[in-house]
Amino acid sequence: MEMTQEDITRLQYAKDLLENPGIVEKLTNVVGMPFEKAFDYLPDNWTAMIQTITHKSLHNALTVAVRTLTLKERKSSNDRLHKFLVAASGGIGGAFGLPALAIELPVTTVIMFRSIADIARSEGEYIQSIETRLACLEVFALGGSSDKDNAAESGYYAVRALLAKQVSEAAKYIVEKGIAEKGTPALVRLIAVIASRFGVTASQKAAASAVPVIGAAGGALINSIFMDHFQNMARGHFMIRGLERKYGEKTVNNLYLT
């Protein structure tokens, strides 16, 4: 089936979202200094701290956030509401500084997961399915990179290929034994891979928030940028998945990469 011009335009729009996140540039404008210097305000153990927080945040988001969504179909997602809620969370975190990150980031991540799932629903996904929930979780791996990446491993389809085995194993395990079981090995492995990438973006957010002059207003703005980033990743991701359902993954993949 040949892709229509309208869907080719949708594919290009999705690709533009997924391959051009630009979050660092936006955060640099907020902190008002070369972004690398913002990392100087983070404590020595910040890498381990961020990884611990992101693991906890992603697990909580997966088990909690989707429960608040209804099965009712909607043609549009409520992006503004979720951005407002995340900005409010960031404002509180900004007022108390970096020590509040351990409380603020899990809350922010749950709200972001809720927004991602809302976007998924607006793009025709069945949000109660395990596959869709895991596809929502995948979004946190997009638009960032891990320390082990090279340039060929940071593109959209490269990330999906990296996660494919873990997603398949986690879906099978959850279907058989449920998502609530603590220490689910397949889910732990999936979250570990996603957290290694999400942690990069979360570290950028933490560095921006750690600059002393940021305060509550700056924290709200940083969280709005953070949310906007992942809403864009979600929109592109689920637009691509919608096109794959219509034309097949191979056809969309080939067109995406040309």
Residue 198 lies in a domain: no
* 119 assigned to some structural domain: yes
**231 within domain boundaries:** yes
pLDDT for 150 equals 45
Compute the distance between CA of residue 237 and CA of residue 229 in angstroms, rounded to an integer: 12
Residues comprising the chain, all counted: 258
Q: Does residue 237 form part of some domain?
A: yes
Residue 157 domain-assigned (yes or no): no
C-alpha–C-alpha distance, residues 130 and 170, integer Å: 9
Q: What whole-number distance in Å separates Cα of residue 42 and Cα of residue 27?
A: 16
Torsion angle defined by CA atoms of residues 169, 170, 174 and 179, in that order, rounded to the nearest 10 degrees: 160
Within a domain: residue 174? no
Other CB atoms within a 10 A radius of the CB of residue 62 amount to 24
pLDDT at 144: 59
Under DSSP, is residue 180 helix (H, G, I), strand (E, B) or coil? coil
- Provide the domain limits for residue 48: 5-129+205-257
User: pLDDT at position 193, please?
Assistant: 92
Tens of pLDDT along the chain (258 residues) come to 799 999 999 999 999 999 887 788 777 777 776 667 777 777 777 778 888 888 888 988 887 755 666 555 556 677 677 666 766 665 555 444 566 667 778 888 888 898 899 899 999 999 888 899 899 999 999 975 544 544 445 689 999 999 999 999 988 888 877 665 556 788 888 999 999 999 888 888 777 776 765 555 566 788 888 888 999 999 999 999 999 999 999 999 999 998
Question: At residue 2, what are phi and psi to the nearest 5 degrees?
Answer: -80, 135
pLDDT at 185: 82
How many structural domains is the chain composed of?
Answer: 1
Q: Find all residues with CB under 8 Å of 64, minimum gap 6, and list them.
A: 110
**57: enclosing H helix or E strand:** helix 46-64
**What's the pLDDT score for residue 94?**
47
3-state secondary structure of 114: helix
Task: Judge contact between 91 and 216, C-beta under 8 A.
Answer: yes
The answer as to whether 66 is a domain residue is yes
Q: What is the pLDDT of residue 100?
A: 66
Residue 54 lies in a domain: yes
- HSE (side-chain half, CA atoms, 13 Å) at 52: 8
How confident is the model at residue 232, as a pLDDT?
A: 93
What pLDDT shows up at residue 90?
57
Give the span between the Cα atoms of 11 and 242, in whole angstroms.
10
Here the tokens at position 188 are 């732990």
Helix, coil or strand: residue 168? helix
